[in-house]
Structure 1
Amino acid sequence: METRYIKYFIVLSLFFVFGCSNTKYLAEGELLYTGSTVKVKDSVIKKKERKVLEKEGENLLVPKPNKKIFGLRPKLWIYNLAGKPKKAKGIRYWLRNKVGEAPVLFSKVDLDYNASVLRNYTQNRGYFKTRVSADSTAKNKRVTAQYIVLPKRQYKIKNIQFPADSSDLGKSIAKTSDKTLLKEGNPYDLEIIKLERERIDASLKEKGYYYFNPDYILAQVDSTKGDHEVNIKLKIKDKTPDKAAIAYKIDKIVVYPNFSILKDSLTYKKEDIIQYKDYTIIDSAHTFKPRVFDRTLYFKKGDYYNRKNHNLTLNRFVNLGTFNFVKNEFKVSDSLKNTLDAYYYLTLLPKKFIRVEVLGKTNSASFTGTEVNINWNNRNVFRGAELLTLSVFGGAEFQLSGKNKGQNIYKLGGETSLTWPRFITPFKMEGSSEFVPRTKATVRYEFQKRIQLYALNSFKTSFGYIWKEDIRKEHQLNVVDITFVSPNNVTAAYRENILADASLGKAIEKQLIFGPTYSYTFTNRMLKFKKNTFYFNGKADLAGNVTGLLLGANIKRGDTIKVFDVPFSQYVKLETDFRHYLKLGNESELASRIIVGAGFAYGNSNTLPTTKQFVVGGTNSIRAFRARSLGPGSYNAPIISNSFLPEQSADLKLEFNTEYRAQIYGLMKGALFVDAGNIWLLNADPNKPGAEISKNFMKQIAVGAGAGLRFDFSFLILRTDLAFPLRKPYLPEGKRWVIDAIDFGSGSWRKENLILNIAIGYPF
């Protein structure tokens, strides 16, 4: 046996011995509780249902035993190893109380209580004659508990009866019967009955029954008729308050847009009152234009109370971004019968404020750095809840490893943006959800200096819309998106590199890009309880298309159109990013991603602008290859000089990533990952053999793997990934898989193949 395997065997053996020694710390008479099992015994119940009852039953049992990892209890071992500290501080106290876990003793286990919990649980699932027995087994100061459940046959629903009385409330409840959760033939389940009451209440809340609640519905269950069947009768309780049986309409709608919780803001003068449509606005400072409330409030006078509109209104007030506190109440009206007066009390955020942001960041080129943003903001600048932001920023980025090390990037710039909480269009458009749609105009300038290479002046302006259909779906459409890039201070060394690789000249060409861009995002990642969650982002970038077609631009015929002496770009670019997250446990998941992108230049352009082309490799891509050094296709870019590695980009991109993530301890998390993909050119380039897309493109896929650590400091996640290639597409066919060449013990192999990625945040 090799020496390293002997070491591993000794370490594992010692850990096992230490893990088994936890019971020696127990006092005389104490027993360590190691867990419980639930066994459902009944030949009538299907095996699948028995397994469900057993699993759910075990989850109900208390207390939970000490946590096991690979069959051992390391937290309990640390608790015992630390011993009893003399002071409530220090390393020993921290190990025992923060890292370790006190033993769960069998004396804390109440077998009868757990048996009653299991009995109630199964009875609530329709097993009305359940019997439960409990016992325990002790061995070597360890105790396990066993529960035997005899549920017999499950009762099914035979008939459901809704209220048949002639009252408006009874009729309203009966009208919801087509959407009932109680189905004839389904098993009896108390939880479903509770959900049914909540469903009925939610339906009534949409029809004006403001004071109704689920407790006013009684479900009478009769199990005396039929063979293991129940009849369920839903009725309104006799003691239901009168006001709960009334469907209310809205009368007055009063808004206090400048309300203060620190003083009595309800005192006002006659001249403070503004009557606008159905709304009464009380504000001595005339803080907002009245139409702001017409766009935000979903209630109109004479409408039935509706909980959906109630919540939509509150959410829209919050999403305006001008209020720190939003309070609402409904009161029975004094003027009209069966009506409610709605009151909205809105506390303002500070109108003007300065925000300073210091960011740590990484990008697709494996540059790591920092950026400082200073933002001056003016809320409600034109009394329409608009937001004006003036920003200045500066930053520096450094490549910590690789051939481009030392070619740092410095940038400085400013931006002005104005955001309106509505659509500004020639035709009328309204948002249809609780998320306020926004129109945003932006003007930005940035100076970027790449040490030893060149500098770029970049001007950008855009005008577009951002809106959400719901919490999962977001759209962003820029109808105007103009970028102008002009280079200067190009170094002689970089010009010499252009002579060796003409494609490098694209980076310092003047660029004029204009046209609409669109992005759609769907995600349900906020649903933490779901086992499968998704993220999808699709982008469309259409530059110069209409202009090029109207003017007849055709670079192949020499008909190039210039604007301000700069040829404008004409292309279509599409990109999709799909991610799937499979929850494996409370602290582990499998994350996967696929990216597909394509760009096609035509008319006034023969290639995509450098800033719009696709790249792979680096901290957020295929981590076994240095940033932008991979591809296109099987092309292997030569190293022009010892200090410069040219960046590769192309028209097409295909990338796959999958990563297993799990918590190791505390703020430290670990990951194992595999990345694959490449980029390709649409058209052949004689200077880049093998770069063009072909039917054999899958043979040019690069593959890498690795492991990493993530340190979650809550305010940022520091990520370190160590990766190495499994397949190199630039090698001759038949030799591209390099798994057999992996040799972690070889210094030359490590130097050539191991890539350390240091980044901030998850790669996807």
Structure 2
Amino acid sequence: MLCISGCNTLKKVGEDELLLTKNSIFVDDEKVNNSEIKGLISQKPNSSVLGYPLKLNLYNLAKENPDSSFQDWLNRKEKREKRLNKLLSEKQVNRLRESFMVSGASEFLKRIGEPPVIIDTAETNKSIRRLKAFYNSKGYFNNEGNYEIVDVKNKKASISYHITLNKPYIVDTVQKNITSPELDSIYLKTANKSLIKPGEQFDLNKFTLERERLTTLFRNSGVYNFQESSINYDVLRDTTVTADDQLMDVLLNINKFRSSADSTDVGTPYKVARHKKINIYADYDINGTTDTLKSLTYANYNIYYSGKLRYKPKALTDAIFFKKDSVYRDLDRIRTYRQITNLNTFKYPNIGFIPDSTQTQLESNIYLAAKPKYSLNLNFDVTHSNIQQVGTAFSASVITRNVFGGAETLNVSARGSIGLLSDASLSNETFTSELGGDINITFPRIWFPLNTEKIIPYYMLPQSRLSVGTNFQRNIGLDKQSLNSILSYNWSPSDRLKNNIELLNVEFVRNVNTDNFYNVYRNTFSNLDDIADDFQDDPQYAEYFSAVENEGDEPRLDIPTGANNFAQDVLNGTLTVTEDDFQTVNSIEERRRRLTENNLIFASNFTHTKNSKSGINDLDFYQYRIKLESAGGMLSMLTNVIPFNKNEEGQSLVFGVPFSQYAKTEFDYIRHWKIGESQVIAFRSFTGLAIPYGNSDNVPFVRSYFAGGSNDNRAWNAYELGPGKTDNINDFNEANLKLAFNLEYRFPIAGDVKGALFADAGNIWNVFDNETNPDATFNGFSSLGDLALGTGLGLRYDFTYFVFRLDVGFKTYNPAKVGSDRWFDGYNFKRAVFNIGINYPF
């Protein structure tokens, strides 16, 4: 195979040509691996996947010169069809059709493949010029460059580029020539922050950054119309001194403002401007006139509107960061744009400035065009799952903007679904159904009794959200009914930082059909029924069992009465079983009690997120998320004041339900490294721990952790992995401690088709709760040996707006196995786990 691959690689390389296999760059005889410098090379070797030139070999599979008869056939197919049928035999027509297929395949292979990169000395010389220019920009004006073709063998070769830097040039003095006195005064205040300093090596990039710094400085110091093109530098060197002298003098020039490109325009000096008048046009129509608008003045702002003012004046002025008689700052303009957009009431705003004759006073105009007051969204889905053979879901939402005149947004949504039950044994009925609705209202400010503006100013885009929702399920699990309410605040101190506080997160979950537990959790029932097999032939225990028609009238535990009574009789000693079976039954009954009891969660949490990604094309970045959550603390303090009712276990009850009490923390870290053109290594680590205390001895199912699935360990299905070294003991395995580590190599294959190789490690455990099974609990560092490892490969298709993903995971290390069976057990496609997802997992 390697021999065939090697021959195919050189298939379209001529006798006098050399296929480029590698570029090496040496600067002062030291090898350079900097990606920025490597990017200056004009000719690069053909791309490869793990060292295999896939695109080159695909290209080489294409036919060199497609049959010309195919082109004729393709261009005038309809006109020639009848004529060809008359003139040619059926065999000849079939040959033309075969030519069509071969040629079409050839065009496709050429389109997704890459032609061989043949060493071209013209391109090589271009690369030398680029390298020399780069080091010129770093102050090595006397650098020298050359190249040599090496490792020539079997029509393949590499290129070595050599750059000799010689002595660098040094900035000797920095002088200034600023035509505007006001700019000169501003410059002097921050001259010590200049990026160009005497005694440092010349670096063109520092000159560019200094121009950007000065432009930002002047625009934030009152010079609203400052142009970066007004800044230039003269770099001088005394030619009368010896050639060995590498000192250079720098002259900073800041010219006058020029309103046009006319070379005769001598310009006018820049001046510091202040906001003399601030106008807000709340009902701006680009095609209308502002002469007929009404106006009012509020807090030194002039608000213009038509008819009746629909907005509270304060809601408008709080979004404007210009202040009357204050010095213009470009930062205020940017913040105004962001905050107006954050209101979600207006279309993208327009801000204009009209200076007076002295250029020192500005009339600032903010033009606002309202979005439609109402918006309607409708969605219809067809679904399939392990519960439903087929299902349909419909949802609708109505958005109302500016509800109370303060740019508030109200969202009322409803959803419903109906589906055909996949397993008739799950219920006496055939269909599943779900009905729910939510009411959300968003305030573009911190809605709190105390003034928080000094702590969280408006430029941080503060929002408050109050939501209430409910959901009803029938024939899905235990037929849950849920009610939730959230009061949350979020704000962004910068583009890369986000904070969110859920001051109150209340969730009430009621299980309506608790008798359906053993129908839903089949693995749990199977474990209990296996223990009961020892008693099924004894007539005195016949009341526990019922015959199953589809299984040859084989008796099994009756659901729910027989199963519940059998478990209770084992636990109270009426039935004698082995110690291991007793522990299993005790675990099953504890899980049944936990999953069928109603939950009441009063929680508060704080989430802090940072993302260093600078744009959609930034492939080298990091991101982390920290979350802290506490539940039940406030209710626990109230038990000292209010005599709450208690159940048999001594738990305090609210509305007849024991409230959950736990502390929870999570840390999620993601890092991406760009290692080549469109190639990325992505890493993710996750740690989560929830500790029950006080009124609870376990964490609610809805707030616990699970492992497996398309965004976690892809060699296991969701809820299938763990806890610890246990082997799929429950239908939905969960615990209160989770560790997860993911590593993925992403690379292009052909066009929009991408590939990936991944390794996922992780597991879940029980810790500090009522779980007693040592295989499921975390017992120190030794439990890290329970980390499961899954490896695999994936294909992705990039649709620009989203990525469709197919991943195949293989169980590489399974802690549930014993000894050597843990490694590579079932490492084949027959036992692989296939995951379909949208977008990247991390």
TM-score bucket of the superposed structures, by smaller chain:
0.7 to 0.9
Whole-angstrom distance in 2 between the partners of 1:316 and 1:136: 58
Does the C-alpha gap of structure 1 residues 244 and 446 become closer, same or farther in structure 2, counting only changes over 3 Å? farther
1:187 match? 201
Whole-angstrom distance in 2 between the partners of 1:255 and 1:358: 41
Deviations 1:604-635 (A, max 9, x none): 22222121122222332222233223333333
Whole-angstrom distance in 2 between the partners of 1:722 and 1:147: 42
Letter in 2 for 1:329: G
2:138 match? 125
1:747 match? none
1:708 match? 794
Letter in 2 for 1:506: R
Does the C-alpha gap of structure 1 residues 468 and 554 become closer, same or farther in structure 2, counting only changes over 3 Å? farther
1:755 match? 833
Q: Displacement, 1:510? A: 1.2
RMSD after superposition:
4.1
Contact 2:811 2:825 in 1 (8 A): no
Determine which of 233, 245, 261 is the counterpart of 1:227: 245
Does the C-alpha gap of structure 1 residues 287 and 724 become closer, same or farther in structure 2, counting only changes over 3 Å? same
Whole-angstrom distance in 2 between the partners of 1:754 and 1:231: 68
Contact 2:715 2:833 in 1 (8 A): yes
Deviations 1:578-599 (A, max 9, x none): 2222222232222222222222
Deviations 1:72-91 (A, max 9, x none): 43464356647487258993
1:264 match? 288
Contact 1:331 1:342 in 2 (8 A): yes
Determine which of 682, 701, 711 is the counterpart of 1:620: 711
Deviations 1:663-695 (A, max 9, x none): 222333222222222222234757634323322
Gaps of 5+ in 1: 1-8, 639-644, 745-749
Determine which of 590, 593, 596 is the counterpart of 1:508: 596
Does the C-alpha gap of structure 1 residues 47 and 256 become closer, same or farther in structure 2, counting only changes over 3 Å? farther
Whole-angstrom distance in 1 between the partners of 2:381 and 2:803: 12
Does the C-alpha gap of structure 1 residues 717 and 201 become closer, same or farther in structure 2, counting only changes over 3 Å? closer
Determine which of 196, 213, 216 is the counterpart of 2:230: 216
Whole-angstrom distance in 1 between the partners of 2:118 and 2:504: 68
Whole-angstrom distance in 2 between the partners of 1:587 and 1:397: 43
2:691 match? 600
Q: TM-score, normalised by structure 2?
A: 0.76
Whole-angstrom distance in 1 between the partners of 2:43 and 2:815: 55
Whole-angstrom distance in 2 between the partners of 1:569 and 1:333: 65
- Determine whether 1:651 maps to 2:742: no
- Determine whether 1:724 maps to 2:810: yes
Whole-angstrom distance in 1 between the partners of 2:823 and 2:449: 61
Whole-angstrom distance in 1 between the partners of 2:805 and 2:673: 21
Q: How does 1:201-600 map to 2 (within 5 A)?
A: 201-224=215-238, 227-237=245-255, 243-261=268-286, 263-269=287-293, 272-285=294-307, 286-333=309-356, 338-357=360-379, 372-394=394-416, 411-430=434-453, 431-432=456-457, 434-451=459-476, 453-492=477-516, 493-494=518-519, 496=560, 499=567, 501-502=588-589, 503-527=591-615, 532-552=620-640, 558-600=649-691
Contact 1:364 1:617 in 2 (8 A): no
Q: Displacement, 1:297? A: 0.7
Which is higher, the Rg of structure 1 or of structure 2?
Answer: 2
1:611 match? 702
Does the C-alpha gap of structure 1 residues 116 and 376 become closer, same or farther in structure 2, counting only changes over 3 Å? same
Does the C-alpha gap of structure 1 residues 588 and 299 become closer, same or farther in structure 2, counting only changes over 3 Å? same
Deviations 1:393-419 (A, max 9, x none): 245899999x99x99985331111111
Q: Displacement, 1:296? A: 0.7
Does the C-alpha gap of structure 1 residues 149 and 647 become closer, same or farther in structure 2, counting only changes over 3 Å? closer
Q: Displacement, 1:701? A: 2.4
- Determine whether 1:739 maps to 2:827: no
Contact 2:706 2:735 in 1 (8 A): yes
Whole-angstrom distance in 2 between the partners of 1:716 and 1:408: 33
Letter in 1 for 2:246: H
Whole-angstrom distance in 2 between the partners of 1:374 and 1:647: 31
Letter in 1 for 2:10: C
Deviations 1:484-507 (A, max 9, x none): 111113445446466452203322
Does the C-alpha gap of structure 1 residues 369 and 506 become closer, same or farther in structure 2, counting only changes over 3 Å? farther
Whole-angstrom distance in 2 between the partners of 1:417 and 1:719: 32
Determine which of 155, 166, 178 is the counterpart of 1:152: 166
Q: Displacement, 1:119? A: 4.6
Whole-angstrom distance in 1 between the partners of 2:223 and 2:706: 58
1:4 match? none
Contact 2:28 2:164 in 1 (8 A): no
Contact 2:726 2:775 in 1 (8 A): yes
Does the C-alpha gap of structure 1 residues 243 and 255 become closer, same or farther in structure 2, counting only changes over 3 Å? farther
1:642 match? none
3-state secondary structure, aligned to 1:624: coil
Whole-angstrom distance in 2 between the partners of 1:634 and 1:105: 55
Whole-angstrom distance in 2 between the partners of 1:381 and 1:589: 46
Whole-angstrom distance in 1 between the partners of 2:13 and 2:834: 43
Whole-angstrom distance in 1 between the partners of 2:154 and 2:432: 65
Contact 1:164 1:171 in 2 (8 A): no
Percentage of pairs with the same residue: 26
Whole-angstrom distance in 1 between the partners of 2:331 and 2:385: 42
Q: How does 1:45-194 map to 2 (within 5 A)?
A: 46-48=28-30, 51=32, 59-60=39-40, 62=42, 70=51, 72=53, 73-74=56-57, 76-77=59-60, 81=64, 83=66, 86=71, 87=74, 91-92=104-105, 95=108, 98-100=111-113, 109=122, 117-130=130-143, 151-163=165-177, 167-194=181-208
Deviations 1:530-570 (A, max 9, x none): 66422222222222212213314798995432222222222
Whole-angstrom distance in 2 between the partners of 1:99 and 1:467: 45
Q: Displacement, 1:351? A: 1.6
Letter in 2 for 1:663: P
